Structures are given as structure tokens and as C-alpha cells.
């Protein structure tokens, strides 16, 4: 059957009507079944309560965003379900009980305006920090309303009084100065890309009607998005435009005062950044230039002005190897900090520009943990920053640091589950093509002599690396009860650099699925678990992974949880932001690309005569990134074919699936209760 015929014969297209009453009735009916089966026991209530207490407790670290002398934080707790946007000074933050200045009480705002506002972020004007652009979404969607906020009066500036205001859309807006912004939004017909993001960037002056704002760049409908911005580093001010031609390729331009564009002659798939006179390029594919060939994953540096004049004498300041990849980097005033992954464990270095650049280790990062540098603020001067470190059983520690000074603990998060005796181990499985694929196992040390109920999680896409991190919910819901938790690092991610990603892109996507299934077999072969005791969970692209595990490898699993998933790969590019992911998956409208997509697309590969493990599908009505129709239609098809499944749809919550802490606690408790019933109780009763 051709792709076109497949679409015409789809009996469940009506489930793609996001807010259609028939579709919502479908969701409500299934929600009642899920609630009755999984959310009525004392055990569920106790776990949900514990997770909610963890999310609401004041003992959590209030992670700050540094903006000069101010530290900003968005905070939710039991008294502030929607949250507070607040700030304090560095001196106050270092105390046990900081004095926070509340800027916006989102609960009060939502009540006053009768809107289900969910926080979407704030862009504070530097250096004055007197104004901010606040993004708010209805129910947690990606599309947001943007409103200007006066920090002195703590009031929104109304549009009628000259305040910047954008109606609900997937907008991009950035400050130039107190009276001017760069904006990309829904300007009307033909102003969005096929992916639903801005196609046009404009310079908008205060008091000017939006439709009269000056266009600075106009992209193509097939682009993913267009944006413009302003680098306000004193003495190095620069205007720039980004043209994302697909998810992984962007053309970068410098925008001169006269409106002329100067394209940076860099590989479109490279990550491009600059600081003062330094240009940095992180390569995703090998690049031959200036008589040199630089490898994928390398970080290159040179003088930006010399580059613009035609020079190409880059210095390689990071070179990957078989075990090591670049995980992140950022500037202090005088140094560049590097975070690397060495077999998925972080190490930190400080680099100093010069001829040549120098590199030194930046302290010792704990094993089986992840350490990241945050709050680097070169605009304000100084080489101060913060470090966050945590592991699967080690709660997060926030440290204050500076180049040349040892890091000092600043805040410590408490433990939320009994981790006594729980150990973290790293193993490698051999995939179908012989590739060694790493994964972490977290379990009680005294359970190593027997198989135990185990849940493995996976993602494997978009060069996103999964690294060790503390999870109180999995500890409370699974580890405390003797289960094992597994985090996989399959291809498609970025754990070993860009080539780890590209090895599972488009026609090679099957490698991610082979990696995950190989780890499942390896867990059984090592005696860590059995097939009947093995569960799997993943969301978004990881939800697609779960759909493939269900339909292609059902014999490997005892239960599956599939969250906010892509599942219908014939129509994914027609739904919401789906067109932006064609560079990752392929174009189903091209016969040669539908050929490989059709072989694994879960919705098209579900069969009545094949036994499947029980599956819980979850999604959100307000997810405007991955369409809820994917999960709805899969549930309907599984029902039609007589398979065992459960379906739950949060009527709000966006792509994260939850709009507040209570919803997050419910979603987490639901997953662990499902696995408890499917992998433990049902096996005991079999």
C-alpha cells in the first residue's frame, strides 16, 4: 500500500482534531479507565503524595539565573502551584534563608485574568534590568503570549501604553535597547514556516504598530525558523540573523547598521558562536578548509575579524577521540570552560586564549555523576561561575567557583529516597553491527545475584546526550522497592559526539532501535533481569523508540510506557512542529524515504496476530510540539486489534505532559504504579 493510500484509509484521522469533542470524549473515557485501574489504591496515593512533597518542598535548591548582581529564580511549591518569578542578590542567596523579591505571582495573575497561565520564561533587558519580556502559555503549550513587564512598578506595560505585546504564537523576541526589539511571530498569512515557526524577522520600535515594523530578513517556507538578535558585549556590539534551514543546519549572518547582511562562511551544520574577538566553531561533520581537515566533533577558534577578512588559520582547542566528546562550553570574562564526556562521564577543563591556547583540568568531577557549569556571565566581568553536580543516587550540589579558586559548596539538595546499598554500574552491550553501546544500571548491591524487575529508559535522537542525574521519583517509585533502573546511551544521541548521532539518522534510524534492543538482551544475558520482568519507558522521540520496541521487539519486554510519542511517521511532518524534524527522520512524501520510514513506523506496523506486552500511552491535549493524535490513534488501533493497552491524556501540560507540580506527581506515580502492577504483581499472580 502506498503512503497516500495509507492516509486515505486511516479510520482514525478524526483523532487528530486536537480539541474536537469526539476526540476529547475518547480521551476522557480512557482516562477514567486508567484512573480506576492505577490511581485509586493507597499505594498510588502514598507515592503521589511523596513525589508532590518532593516537588513542593522548600529544601530543594532554588536554581538561579545570574544577571550581574541579581540572581533570578522561578519557584513552585504547595502555596504557589503556578509559581513565583523572583530575584535576590548573590550575598542573600548564599544565606540559608534568602530574602527574595517577588516580581510576578503567577497564581495571582492567572486568577485575576481568569487564564490558565503556565510560565514560559523571561528575557531581562541588560544592563539596566528595569524591563523584561515575559512569556506565558495557556496550559503549557509551546505557543506563548509575550508581554512587557516593568520591574520597578511590578506591573505589565499595556499595549495601549506602548508596551510590547505579542498574541499567542511560537514567537522569537529579543531586546536591542529599551525601546527596540527583534521579533519573529505570526504576522499574518505566509509569515510562518511549514514547521509553524517565524519566517520573518523584524526590528520593532516602541509605539510602532507591529505590521509596520522593519523587516530585516525573510526566509523560505521550507526553513525551520528565522531569528535575529543583538550581542551587547561592551565594545563588541553586533547584530545578527539566524536562518535555520533545517533542524541541524543554520546560516548565520552579521547584520550591519545599514541593513546589509554578511554571511559567515562556516559549515551550516556547525555550532557558531563568538565572544569579543573570538569565533568558535563546533563541527558536526569533517571540514576541509585552509589546507587543513578538521574532524567532526572538534572545537575550533580564531580571531573573528581575521576570519571576516578571509583568513582560515583555526586553532583546534578540542579534539574528540573514540571515548571522548565535547558536552558543553561557555565563557567567563577571560577563560573558556569545557565540559567533556568520557564514556558518558563528565570532566571539566579551563582554556585560556593565547598563542597557543592553554588547557588545564578544572577540579575533579565525581565518577558516575554529571557536573555542569552554569551562570557564566562575561557581560558583567569576572571569572566567577557555578557548578551543579549530581548522580543517580547522589542529590544535587550547587557550588560557587571561579577560575583559579577551588569550588565551594553553596547549596545541597536533600535525598528523597533511601539510597543505602544502591549502586551504579556501567556496562556495554554489543549492538547488531558490533558497536559497543554503554548503559548504566542502578540497583541494590545485594541484588546482584538474582534477576529483579527492571525498567530501562531511552531516547536516542537529535544529538541529545543522556547523563547521570538524581531522580527522586524513580528512587521512591522503583529503586526503594528492589527494582533496577537502567539509563541507555544509544546512538542518535550525542554521548560520543555528532557522529554518534548521525549514525542513527534518517535511513540509519534502525541502529538506535538495534542498540536499545541489544541492551535489553544484554540485561537478561547478564542475569540482571528476565524478559518478563523488563519494562521500558521513553517520551517524545523516546516515545517513538517505545513504539518500535512494541511492534518490532515485543518478545523482549514485559511492559512499556510510551509518553508524548511520535508514532504515525506517515503523517508526522503534517502535524504541528513535525515538519521541522524531517532532517532527523526523513520525508515521508518522498518514496525513497518513506521506504525506510514505513518499515518501522509503529502506527503502520501494528498487527492483530502478534502478541504485544501491555503498554501505557500518555500524552497531553496542549502539546503543540508532538501532536496528541499520535498517541490517540495508536490507542484506537490497539483497541481495534484487541491488544492490552491503557491510554491517558492530560488535558493540559504541553510537551512535558504536566503544567504544575501536582500534575507532574500524578504522571510520575502513574508510571511506577503501572510498572509495579505489570512487572511485579502480575508476574507473581501468573
What's the pLDDT at 684?
Answer: 65
Q: What are phi and psi of 64, to 5 degrees?
A: -100, 160
Range 85-99 burial, b when 16+ CB lie within 10 A, else e: bbbbebeebeeeebe
What pLDDT score does 659 carry? 67
Only one residue has cell 512535558, namely 656
SS (H, E, C) 494-550: CCCCHHHHHCCCHHHCHHHHHHHHHHHHHHHHCCCCCHHHEEEEEECHHHHHHHHHH
3-state class of 161 per DSSP? helix
What are the grid coordinates assigned to 542, written together? Answer: 523516546
Compute the distance between CA of residue 615 and CA of residue 49 in angstroms, rounded to an integer.
25
Residues, the chain, total?
686
SS3 call for 212: helix
How many other C-beta atoms are found inside a 10 Å radius of the C-beta of residue 48? 21
Report the C-alpha gap between 433 and 436 in whole angstroms: 9
Model confidence, pTM: 0.93
Q: Where are the beta strands (DSSP E) in 78-116?
A: 80-89, 101-105
Distance, in Å, from the CA atom of 605 to the CA atom of 89, rounded to the nearest integer, reads 56
283 close to 296: Cβ distance less than 8 angstroms: yes
SS3 411: strand
Q: What is the pLDDT of residue 446?
A: 85
pLDDT of amino acid 363: 83
Average pLDDT score over the chain:
95
pLDDT at 3: 46
Helix 21-38 × helix 629-641 angle, to 10°: 70
407 with 348: CB under 8 angstroms? no
261 three-state secondary structure: strand
Low pLDDT (below 50) residues in the chain: 1-3
Residue 153: CB atoms within 10 Å = 9
With helix as H, strand as E and coil as C, how does 399-444 read? EEEECCEEEEEEEECCCCCCCCCEEEEEEEEECCCCCEEEEEEEEE
151 DSSP 8-state letter: T
Tell me the pLDDT tens digit for each residue of 103-162.
999 999 999 999 999 999 999 999 999 999 999 999 888 899 999 999 999 999 999 999
Rounded to whole angstroms, the Cα distance separating 184 from 509 reads 33
Give me the catalytic one of 80, 327, 643, 655.
Answer: 655
Cβ burial, residue 120 (10 Å; 0-12/13-18/19+): middle
Rounded distance, CA 546 to CA 568, Å? 13
Instruction: Copy the grid coordinates of residue 422.
Output: 544502591
User: What was the pLDDT predicted at 656?
Assistant: 60
pLDDT value at residue 381: 77
Q: Is 227 a catalytic residue?
A: no
Selected catalytic residue, list 225, 471, 518, 540: 540
What are the tens digits of pLDDT across the range 308-326? 999 999 999 999 999 999 9
Catalytic site residue 400? Answer: no
439, 443, 447, 449: CA torsion to nearest 10: 10
* CA end-to-end span of the chain: 40
Yes or no: say if 142 and 655 are a contact pair by the CB < 8 Å rule: yes
pLDDT at residue number 108: 98
Amino acid at each position: 500500500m502506498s503512503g497516500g493510500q495509507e492516509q486515505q484509509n486511516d479510520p482514525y484521522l478524526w483523532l487528530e482534531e486536537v480539541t474536537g469533542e469526539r476526540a476529547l470524549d475518547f480521551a476522557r473515557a480512557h482516562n477514567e479507565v486508567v484512573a480506576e485501574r492505577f490511581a485509586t489504591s493507597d499505594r498510588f496515593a502514598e507515592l503521589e503524595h511523596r513525589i508532590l512533597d518532593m516537588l513542593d518542598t522548600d529544601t530543594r535548591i532554588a536554581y538561579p539565573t545570574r544577571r550581574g548582581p541579581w540572581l533570578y529564580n522561578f519557584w513552585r511549591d504547595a502555596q504557589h502551584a503556578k509559581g513565583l518569578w523572583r530575584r535576590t542578590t548573590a550575598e542573600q542567596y548564599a544565606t540559608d534563608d534568602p530574602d527574595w523579591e517577588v516580581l510576578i505571582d503567577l497564581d495571582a495573575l492567572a486568577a485575576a485574568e481568569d487564564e490558565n497561565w503556565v510560565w514560559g520564561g523571561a528575557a531581562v533587558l541588560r544592563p539596566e534590568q528595569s524591563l523584561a519580556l515575559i512569556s506565558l502559555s495557556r496550559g503549557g503549550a509551546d505557543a506563548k503570549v509575550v508581554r512587557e513587564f516593568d520591574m520597578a512598578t511590578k506591573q505589565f506595560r499595556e499595549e495601549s501604553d506602548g508596551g510590547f505585546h505579542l498574541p499567542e504564537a511560537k514567537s522569537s523576541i529579543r531586546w536591542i535597547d529599551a525601546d527596540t526589539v527583534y521579533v519573529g511571530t505570526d504576522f499574518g498569512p505566509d509569515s510562518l514556516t511549514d514547521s509553524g515557526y517565524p519566517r520573518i524577522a523584524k526590528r520593532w520600535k516602541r509605539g510602532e504598530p507591529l505590521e509596520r515594523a522593519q523587516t530585516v530578513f525573510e526566509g523560505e517556507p521550507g526553513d525551520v525558523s528565522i531569528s535575529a538578535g543583538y550581542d551587547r558585549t561592551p565594545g563588541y556590539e553586533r547584530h545578527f540573523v539566524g536562518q535555520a534551514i533545517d533542524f541541524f543546519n543554520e546560516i548565520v549572518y552579521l547584520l550591519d547598521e545599514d541593513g546589509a547582511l554578511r554571511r559567515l562562511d562556516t559549515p551550516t551544520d556547525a555550532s557558531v558562536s563568538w565572544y569579543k574577538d573570538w569565533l568558535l566553531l563546533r563541527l558536526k561533520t569533517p571540514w576541509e578548509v585552509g589546507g587543513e581537515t578538521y574532524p567532526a566533533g572538534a572545537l575550533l577558534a580564531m580571531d573573528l575579524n581575521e576570519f571576516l577578512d578571509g583568513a582560515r588559520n583555526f586553532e583546534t582547542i578540542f579534539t574528540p577521540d573514540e571515548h571522548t566528546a565535547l558536552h558543553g562550553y561557555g565563557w567567563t570574562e577571560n577563560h573558556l570552560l569545557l565540559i567533556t564526556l568520557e564514556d558518558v562521564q563528565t570532566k571539566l577543563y579551563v582554556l585560556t586564549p593565547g598563542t597557543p591556547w592553554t588547557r588545564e583540568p578544572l577540579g575533579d568531577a565525581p565518577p558516575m555523576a554529571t557536573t555542569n557549569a552554569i551562570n557564566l556571565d562575561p557581560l558583567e566581568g569576572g571569572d566567577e561561575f557555578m557548578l551543579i553536580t549530581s548522580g543517580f543516587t547522589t542529590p544535587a550540589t550547587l557550588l560557587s567557583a571561579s577560575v583559579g579558586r577551588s569550588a565551594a559548596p553553596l547549596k545541597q539538595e536533600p535525598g528523597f529516597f533511601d539510597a543505602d546499598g544502591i549502586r551504579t554500574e556501567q556496562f556495554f552491550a554489543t549492538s547488531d553491527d558490533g558497536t559497543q553501546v554503554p548503559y548504566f544500571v542502578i540497583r541494590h548491591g545485594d541484588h546482584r545475584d538474582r534477576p529483579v524487575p527492571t525498567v530501562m529508559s531511552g531516547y536516542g535522537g537529535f544529538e541529545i546526550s543522556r547523563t547521570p542525574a538524581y531522580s527522586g521519583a524513580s528512587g521512591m517509585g522503583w529503586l526503594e522497592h528492589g527494582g533496577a533502573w537502567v539509563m541507555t546511551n544509544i546512538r542518535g544521541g550525542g554521548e560520543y559526539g555528532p557522529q554518534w548521532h548521525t549514525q542513527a539518522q534518517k535511513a540509519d534510524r534502525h541502529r538506535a532501535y538495534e542498540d536499545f534492543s541489544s541492551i535489553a538482551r544484554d540485561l537478561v544475558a547478564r542475569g540482571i533481569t528476565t524478559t518478563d520482568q523488563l519494562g521500558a519507558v521513553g517520551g517524545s522521540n523516546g516515545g517513538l523508540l517505545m513504539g518500535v520496541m512494541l511492534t518490532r521487539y515485543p518478545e523482549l519486554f514485559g511492559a512499556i510506557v510510551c509518553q508524548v510519542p511520535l508514532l504515525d511517521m506517515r503523517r508526522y511532518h503534517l502535524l504541528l512542529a513535525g515538519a521541522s524534524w524531517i532532517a532527523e527522520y526523513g520525508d515521508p512524501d518522498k518514496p525513497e524515504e518513506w521506504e525506510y520510514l514505513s518499515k518501522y513506523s509503529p502506527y503502520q506496523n501494528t498487527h492483530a496476530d502478534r502478541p504485544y506486552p501491555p503498554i501505557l500511552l500518555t500524552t497531553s491535549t496542549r502539546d503543540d510540539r508532538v501532536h496528541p493524535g499520535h498517541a490517540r490513534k495508536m490507542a484506537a488501533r490497539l483497541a481495534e486489534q484487541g491488544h492490552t493497552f491503557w491510554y491517558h491524556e492530560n488535558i493540559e501540560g504541553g510537551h512535558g505532559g504536566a503544567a504544575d507540580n501536582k500534575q507532574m506527581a500524578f504522571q510520575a506515580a502513574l508510571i511506577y504504579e503501572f510498572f509495579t502492577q505489570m512487572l511485579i504483581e502480575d508476574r507473581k499472580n501468573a
